[in-house]
Structure 1
Amino acid sequence: MNHPHKLIIVDGIPGSGKSTLSEMISKELTKQEIKNIFYHELTEKHPLFIYDCKFITFKDHSEAEYYFNRVVELFNRFVELHKNESEVIIIESILFQDTLSFAYNMGMDRLKIKALFNLLVDILSRLNPILIYIYQLDVRRNWEMIGKIRGVEWIPSLHTQEGLDEAERDWKPNQEFIKSLIEEWEIPKLIIENKDYLWEQYTERTKEFLEVNSLMSDSIS
């Protein structure tokens, strides 16, 4: 069976629950015998990650240009790979957190990031995507919770006030910039404003959103 939307994008800042939500979507699609491919952020040899270069700063024009062109190349190749397949594709983190947010944190010019976003929108349109974006209303609390869940060894600075100050300072404007891009993207989208971590409610809203967009039936228990 062919589905109207061949790509489900799940995104948000680090630790916002993207992987958990994406895994749920993949399992529910499988329950309904809908073939799907889930590209977890940690998928080995992820087709949308750049492995052949370590970047220092995108204030360096040559680095920024290489990154920009390589991202466009990888996304084009990804769409060509999947456009004729019957499976629904699920990607988490890679479009916003690991591509555009990364460019933001590396100092790329905002207009250049927006130009990259517009190119990626055009490329991904061939898969008729839908988007689920988890927006953290309290960025600092988000990082505090990540630190507690993942432990001191993950990012030790998240267990200090200075480290939390830095995480909030870096990611709050980053998230606002990304959200401004998302709001311009005219595709079916669900923005989950996460304040109270009501994951059962967010899961049900996600299922309803997928049902409305003909990717699930209402028979899921």
Structure 2
Amino acid sequence: MLDTKLIFIEGISGSGKSTITDFISNLLTQHNIDHNTYFEWAENHPICGEDDVWLNEDKQSSLYRYRQLNYAKWQEHITNLVNSDNISIFDSSLMQTPLNAFILLLNENFKTIRYFYKRLYKIFHICNPYLIYLRQNDVYLTISRVYNSRPREWGDFVIKYICNSPYGKEKCLKGFDGMVKYFSERQTIEDRLFLTYPYKKLQIDNSDFDFEKCEDKVREFLYL
């Protein structure tokens, strides 16, 4: 029986987060375990996203507002969760969405990012949250694969979003190569966050996109 109320799936774009999230959801269904699954940009997503900041204030005010909104919404969700029989599965909500805000839009350093997570982990404590992290050895290959497999509109949007951000402008990021540089930097920060994550966690090298192998490891990790 799972001893968690929260399962996080993380990794850079194209690492297989959605595939593994679907697998976990189906696995819990097979075991008659009640759960809710939240994908990035889902309309019913309970946690604030980047758009809740926005930079119509000075940087420090935006940073404070972003942190407080996240803490408040996570606290509300956790309170509801512990009083229910459900498990929540989150794709991209622990690392990807906050890091995009902290790095791209707020252009913050790791010390500030680490401070945010230390308090967030305390909010999660009562749920004994699990983290599954899909890591890629070759970021260029992974981003090339997802860039070429998704609609061109997706790639154009992500490149524009990254390169026109405060971080992208400071780093002079341009085009596809600029996008790859950002994802490489973000994965480096995700690596550091994974090492300091204080609850049950699993890192999977999914560089070969062998999802049968990934699913076996996830099933063993969840004891299902």
Q: TM-score range by the shorter chain?
A: 0.7 to 0.9
Match of 2:143 in 1: 143
Farther-moved stretch of structure 1 (41-50 vs 90-99): 41-50
Asked whether 1:119 is paired with 2:119, we answer yes
Residues 133 and 58 (structure 1), Cα distance of their counterparts in 2 relative to 1, 3 Å cut: farther
Structure 2 unmatched ranges of 5 or more: 160-173
Q: How far off its partner does 1:6 sit?
A: 1.2
SS of the residue 1:190 aligns to = strand
Please tell me the residue identity of whatever aligns with 1:206. V
Candidates 177, 186, 195, aligned match of 2:207:
195
| Maintained 8 Å contact 1:143/1:158 | no
Structure 1 unmatched ranges of 5 or more: 217-221
| Maintained 8 Å contact 1:143/1:164 | no
Residues 30 and 45 (structure 1), Cα distance of their counterparts in 2 relative to 1, 3 Å cut: closer
| Maintained 8 Å contact 2:135/2:205 | yes
**Across the two proteins, how many residue pairs are aligned to each other?**
209
CA distance in 2, matches of 1:186, 1:135: 18
Match of 1:173 in 2: 185
Q: How far off its partner does 1:208 sit?
A: 0.9
SS of the residue 1:153 aligns to = helix
Aligned ranges for residues 50-129 of structure 1 at < 5 Å?
50=49, 53=52, 55-56=54-55, 60-106=59-105, 107-129=107-129
CA distance in 1, matches of 2:50, 2:101: 14
CA distance in 1, matches of 2:185, 2:103: 10
CA distance in 1, matches of 2:43, 2:121: 25
SS of the residue 2:28 aligns to = helix
Residues 203 and 108 (structure 1), Cα distance of their counterparts in 2 relative to 1, 3 Å cut: same
Please tell me the residue identity of whatever aligns with 1:174. R
Paired-residue identity, %: 27
Q: If the length of structure 1 is used for normalisation, what is the TM-score?
A: 0.86
SS of the residue 1:28 aligns to = helix
| Maintained 8 Å contact 2:53/2:66 | no
